Structure 1
Amino acid sequence: MRIEDLNYFIAVAETGHVGRASQRLGQSQPALTKGIQRLERELKLQLFERTARGMELTTAGTAFFQRARHVRVSLDDAIKEANDLHLGKKGLVRVGVAPTYSEMFFGQACAELLRQRPAARVQVMIGLNDQLLAALQFGDLDIAISALPAHETPEFTQLPLFRDDIHVVARADHPMLESTSLRLKDLADASWVLPGRNVAARRSLEARFAEHGLPEPNVVVESNSSVTALASVVRTTDLLSVIPASVLSRPQGTGLKPLALAQAVWPRTIGISMRKAAYLSPLAERLVELLKAHGPV
């Protein structure tokens, strides 16, 4: 089996289209088509259904894709390890970090790493939890810095760093802050600025409403990133939002206050996620050490 054929198959499976896969890989469409046909002959399996819309994996193709993706990641790890040895432990580290922690936490450790390893290169992906963990699982990242899942997962090793609870917040002179009998139902009657449905903080809020038989939050403004960037909207309206405690103590949190309601707080731990049994370069290991040493600032 040729490595390039495996790469062609994975690219077509991920894009669902030979044309898009050829653009991604910088190869001609006929080359990809021949490679996939060659792979199907060797496996004696039909991997794709050719349709008018593109290429759809068969049942056998889906199973092979799951295995092939892990093989590709393991091979990439082996190549990186060999390169590290060849380059004398210099090289590249690929880091994913949640927007809230890119400046206030990761930036300090990254700067220190570059002082200690001047030849190092760092690729940084800023994204929300679901994006980072997906990229980590696919082998596009070496480590991810974000909120850790409440339960251990079979794919990742998790290293807790610090606690940063999520709070429901409002502008400093919001009427709800004056209430002495605030209830969760009052929050359900309000309007919100929230991240997308795939973000853990929003899922936690919706789950708590559902537990108490309340409707989903009325989302007036929805963000595809951290709602910290939209703090000014919360600061100047009656809208509620969810923000980490660390943001409330920084300039971005000026003019915002957490609601005095126990049900409007979600415990959360920020940490480092790594793929289990994956190769971690000496450079990445050093970055992990620096992150552990720096702590939140």
Structure 2
Amino acid sequence: MRLEDLNYFLAVAEAGHVGRASTRLGHSQPALTKGLQRLEKELGIQLFERTPKGMTLTTAGAAFFERARHVRTGLDDAIKEASDLHLGKIGLVRVGVAPAYVQMLCAPACSALITQRPAARIHMTTGLNDALFGALRLGELDLCISAIAASPDPEFAQHPLMEDDLLVMAREQHPLFDKRALRFADLVEYGWILPTDKVMARRAIDARFLEAGLPTPEVVIESSSTVATLLPVVRTTDLLTVVGQRAAGPSGGGLRPIPLEQARWRRTIGICTRRGAYQSPLAKRFIEIVDQHARDLTGA
């Protein structure tokens, strides 16, 4: 089996179209088509259904795709490991980080790593955990720093760093604070600013309301990035949102947490890596630095 044929297959499976895959890879469409034909002949199975709109994986093709994706990622790890050894264990570390922890955890760790290893290079991707975990799963990241799941994905290894609960926040003069007997159900009366439902925090919030027998929050503004950038809207309206306790700080910056235990979501921030994946000495050192910095922050 030719390695380029496997790459062609993965590219077409991900793009769903030979033309788009050829553009992405920088090879001609006939080359990709011949490669797919060779691969199907060698395997003795049909991998795709050819349609006027593109290429759809067959059942057998979908199963092969999942296995082949892991093989390709493992091969990339082997190449990266060999490269690290060839370069004298100096190279690149690819870090994904949630926006709230760039300044708090990632930036100090980057400074320390560059001071200790001047030849090191860091590629940082900032995003919410749905995007970060997706990139980590595909082998595009060596690690990510974000909220970690209570029930982790078996593909990932998790290393807890600190607790940072999510709090429902409102402007200081919000009508909710005038209620004598504030109830969780009162929060349904107001609109919210929340991340998309692909994000772990949003799913946890929706679940809390459903568990209480309430409708999920009415989302007035839905953000595909951090809601922290929209806090000025919360300060000037009656909209509610959720903010990490550490990001909110002791003063809240014109915002106050809703004083209900149900309006708090217990959350652990940690480092995620792909279970069993190769970690370069540089990546391992970066993880050690982040871990120590988190210990310093929490007094652990």
TM-score range, shorter chain: over 0.9
Q: In structure 2, list runs of 5 or more residues that go unmatched.
A: none
Q: Is 1:82 aligned to 2:94, yes or no?
A: no
Partner amino acid, structure 1, of 2:39: L
Aligned counterparts, 1:1-297, within 5 A: 1-249=1-249, 253-295=252-294
- Structure 1 residue runs without a partner (length 5+): none
Change in 2 beyond 3 A, CA 1:287/1:250: farther
Task: Give 1:179 shift.
Answer: 2.3
- How much does 1:178 deviate? 2.8
Cα shift readout 1:250-292 (whole Å, capped 9, x = no counterpart): 89x4111100011000000000001111100000000000001
Q: Could you tell which deviates more after superposition, 56-65 or 148-157?
A: 148-157
SS in 1 for 2:45: coil
Offset at residue 52 of structure 1 (A): 1.3
Tell me the alpha carbon deviations over residues 165-213 of structure 1, each in whole angstroms, 9 at most, x when there is no partner. Answer: 0000000111212323111110112111111111111111111111121
- Offset of 1:120 from its aligned partner? 1.1
What CA distance in whole angstroms lies between the structure 2 residues aligned with 1:234 and 1:266? Answer: 19
Q: Which deviates more from structure 2 when the two are superposed, residues 212-221 or residues 267-276?
A: 212-221
Query: Distance between the aligned counterparts of 2:123 and 2:21, measured in 1?
Result: 23
Q: CA RMSD in A?
A: 1.2
Identity %: 60
Letter in 2 for 1:15: A
Shift of 1:159: 0.3
Aligned partners of 2:277, 2:248: CA distance in 1, in Å?
A: 36
Deviation (angstroms), 1:20: 1.2
Structure 2 Cα separation of the partners of residues 103 and 16 of structure 1: 38
Deviation of the 1:153 alpha carbon: 2.5
Secondary structure in 2 aligned to 1:216? coil
Q: Give the 3-state SS of the residue equivalent to 1:146 in structure 2.
A: strand
- Indicate the larger mover: 81-90 or 192-201: 192-201
SS in 1 for 2:273: strand
CA distance in 1: counterparts of 2:167 and 2:263, whole angstroms: 6
User: Normalised by the size of structure 2, how large is the TM-score?
Assistant: 0.96
What is the rounded CA distance, in whole Å, between the counterparts of 1:161 and 1:178 in structure 2?
37
Instruction: Give the superposition deviation at 1:56.
Output: 0.4
Following TM superposition, by how much is the alpha carbon of 1:145 offset from its aligned partner in structure 2, in angstroms?
A: 0.6
